[in-house]
Amino acid sequence: MQIKKLLPLALATAASAQETMNLTAALASSPELSRLTGALGLVPGVGATLGEASNITLLAPSNAAFEELNATTLNDTALIQAVLQYHVLNGTYYAENVTETPSFIPTMLMNSSYTNVTGGQVVEAVRRDGKVVFFSGLLMNSTVTQANVTFDNGIIHIIDRLLTVPANVSTTAVAANLTSLVGAVTTAQLAEAVDTTPDITIFAPNNEAFQSIGSALGNIPAEDLASVLTYHVINGTVGYSSTLSNRTLQTLNGADVTISVIDGAVFVNSARVVIPDVLVANGVVHVIDNVLNPANATATPNATMSTQMPAFSGASSASDVPFTSNVPTPTAPAPTGGAAGGSSTSSSASGAAMPMRTGAVGAAALFGGAALVYNM
């Protein structure tokens, strides 16, 4: 009889012991998050919002991650607010639920000065070599070092690097050494449209792709160049790799492109996606190995070839990379930085220097120092 009386009391005591803390207490319980607590104190509005929010996941940079902060950023309250909002995911995402298939999770960053993606800017979550990794702007990666710290309104994952708020298309492309594309967009007077149009997907040819059809571009009228370039843009749809399947998509040009998935490789007409999911302020960029030709929309891929044949019949390679003399100096602010997420790159002088998604290498090595501008 005594056991029956004591059992409810024991269960109640156990339940009480398992009660979660509020966010302030949860952060205070981890000494390595004291710098984050200090950053939240600089923008009280964010802390108050987090305290009132429910069902959220906080990607909490460790104290070591905050070593990337510089004095200029600390004095920019709006920037710090945007950075902190980008570290808050809408929804509760436990580490064990992150798989090797990338997922793209909306964050609390919706400030139009920093993002133009409906529903909030996203981060990419994926499992690599058994670890949970979050990719942000410029393919910077942040690895979870401590997972599933619970608090009243959600969970916390401690990460080893600050997330990078995605910059605009032009700034990102320059940093990634997609200089031929940037120069072509500038020549065709499309830069503003590309940088400001909300919810876009861009299939971005690398420098080798432009160089391989150099003879077709030498004296191309601006109107024809614009027609080619807008054939690489999907308007009104942010097509992350997880959504790219066998289908057709209408481009800004008005003509369709055909998406094919063959043995795990993604093709756009005959062009292979060589670097997927480069997050930008207004959508996503996928780097491809061929310039798409609206006059050859039926071009199909040969999946056995590592590099596809040009879609411009009869075109020959140029000795120099086209349009690079028209590459402007990037002026858009680039908010934060971690370390670039790759151990291998397209590192030739004419190719994109964007990292692949394995391992980790220094941002300066991948982006020629450009990524360092983005550090807080």
Measuring CA to CA, which residue among 166, 226, 239, 167 is closest to residue 193? 226
Q: What is the pLDDT of residue 183?
A: 96
Per the structure block, which two tokens stand in for 311?
């879609």
The mean of the pLDDT values for the chain is 84
pLDDT digits over 267-309, tens only? Answer: 999 999 999 999 999 999 999 999 999 999 999 998 888 878 8
pLDDT digits over 339-358, tens only? Answer: 444 333 333 333 444 443 32
Q: How far is CA 111 from CA 107, 154, 169, 170, in A?
A: 11, 23, 17, 19
Question: For the domain 16-159, what is the CATH code?
Answer: 2.30.180.10
Residues 308, 299: Cα–Cα separation, whole Å: 10
Q: What is the pLDDT of residue 7?
A: 45
Q: What is the pLDDT of residue 71?
A: 66
Per the structure block, which two tokens stand in for 257?
């492109």
Residues 101, 376: Cα–Cα separation, whole Å: 30
Q: How far is CA 23 from CA 47, 130, 185, 249, 317, in A?
A: 9, 28, 46, 43, 58
pLDDT digits over 134-193, tens only? Answer: 999 999 999 999 999 999 999 999 999 999 999 999 999 999 999 999 999 999 999 999
* Strand extents, DSSP E, the chain: 56-61, 88-90, 103-106, 122-128, 131-135, 140-151, 154-159, 200-205, 233-235, 247-250, 256-262, 265-268, 271-280, 283-288, 339-340
Q: What is the pLDDT of residue 19?
A: 62
pLDDT digits over 46-59, tens only? Answer: 988 888 889 999 99
Q: What percent of the chain has pLDDT over 70?
A: 81
pTM score, whole prediction? 0.85
- Does position 65 have pLDDT exceeding 80, yes or no? yes
CATH class of domain segment(s) 169-331: mainly beta
Q: What is the pLDDT of residue 2?
A: 46
Domain boundaries, the chain: 16-159, 169-331
Q: What is the pLDDT of residue 51?
A: 83
> Residue 330: which pLDDT band, with cuts at 50, 70 and 90?
low
**Helix (H/G/I), strand (E/B), else coil: 169:** helix
> Residue 212: which pLDDT band, with cuts at 50, 70 and 90?
very high
161 vs 73: which has the higher pLDDT? 161
Q: What is the mean pLDDT of residues 205-233?
A: 95
